[in-house]
Amino acid sequence: MCNLYQMMSNQEAIRAITGAMVDSTGNLEPLQEIWPDRMAPIVRNTPAGRELANVRWGLPSSSKALFDAASKRADGLRKKGKAVDFDELLKMEPDGGTTNVRNVSSKHWRRWLAVENRCLVPFTRFAEPDPANKPEGGKTPNAWFGAPDESLMFFAGLWTPQWTCVRKIKEGMTTNDLFGFLTTEPNAVVAPIHRAMPVILSTEEEIETWLTAPWEDAGKLQRPLANNKIVLLPPQPTLI
Shared-domain flag, residues 51 and 65: no
23/208 Cα distance (integer angstroms): 18
Please indicate, yes or no, if residue 37 is contained in any of the structural domains.
yes
Same domain, 109 and 200: yes
Q: 204, 17 in Cβ contact below 8 A?
A: yes
Residues 149 and 200 in one domain: yes
Whether residue 182 sits in one domain with residue 71: no
DSSP 155: E
Domain co-membership, 148 together with 74: no
Q: Which domain holds residue 72?
A: 61-94
Q: Indicate if 29 and 40 belong to the same structural domain.
A: yes
Q: In this structure, what DSSP letter does residue 59 have?
A: B
Residues 86 and 202 in one domain: no
What is the chain's mean pLDDT, rounded? 93
Domain count, the chain: 2
Look at residue 217 and tell me if it is in a domain: no
* pLDDT given at position 238: 54
Residues 26 and 13 grouped into a single domain: yes
Whether residue 45 contacts residue 61, with contact meaning beta carbons closer than 8 Å, is answered with no
H-type helices in 99-200, by residue range?
107-110
Q: Confirm whether 238 is domain-assigned.
A: no
pLDDT digits (tens, 9 = 90+) for 88-103: 767 778 888 999 999 9
Bridge partners, 45 (sequence order): 50
Residue 91's closest CA among 197, 194, 166? 166
User: Does any domain span residue 147?
Assistant: yes
Summarize the confidence of residues 158-176 as an average pLDDT.
Answer: 94
83 & 111 share domain: no
Beta strands 49-57 and 231-233: pairing type? unpaired
CB 40 within 8 A of CB 34: yes
pLDDT (tens digit per residue) in 73-92: 788 888 888 887 787 767 77
List C-alpha distances in Å: 113 to 55, 206, 227: 18, 16, 27
Q: What is the pTM of this model?
A: 0.92
Contact assessment for residue 59 and residue 180, using Cβ atoms and an 8 Å cutoff:
yes
Residue 75 lies in a domain: yes
Per-residue pLDDT, averaged over 28-42, amounts to 96
Least confident span in 10-14, 111-115, 129-133: 129-133
Give the list of residues 6+ apart from residue 16 with CB closer than 8 angstroms, or none.
Answer: none
Query: Does 81 lie in the same domain as 30?
Result: no
Question: Rounded mean pLDDT of 8-28?
Answer: 96
| Contact in structure between 118 and 218 (CB atoms under 8 Å) | yes
Using alpha carbons, select from 177, 183, 178, 176 the residue that is nearest to residue 156. Answer: 183
Is pLDDT above 50 for 240?
A: no
C-alpha–C-alpha distance, residues 171 and 46, integer Å: 28
Cα separation of 8 and 29, whole Å? 8
CB-CB neighbours of 206 under 10 Å: 18
Residues 81 and 199 occupy one common structural domain: no
The half-sphere exposure of 46 on its side-chain side, counting CA atoms within 13 A, is 18
